[in-house]
Amino acid sequence: MKVDQIAGALGADVTEIDISAPLTDTQLNAIKVALWQHGVLAFRNQIMS
């Protein structure tokens, strides 16, 4: 998983993760930390079903 701050904006892009698949505890914790740090997370180009 990679988290990149969005330039000049609140939030971050999260890439290199498939959120349609079951997530490990490590991945979930990393998402929680990133959300706490950036306030908003964008998971682009994901299939959510």
Strand partners for 43 = 14
pLDDT of residue 12: 97
pLDDT of residue 16: 96
pLDDT of residue 19: 92
Mean pLDDT of each 10-residue bin along the chain, 49 residues long: 90 95 96 97 86
pTM for this entry: 0.85
* Residue of 47, 48, 45, 36 lying closest to 12 (CA atoms): 36
pLDDT of residue 26: 97
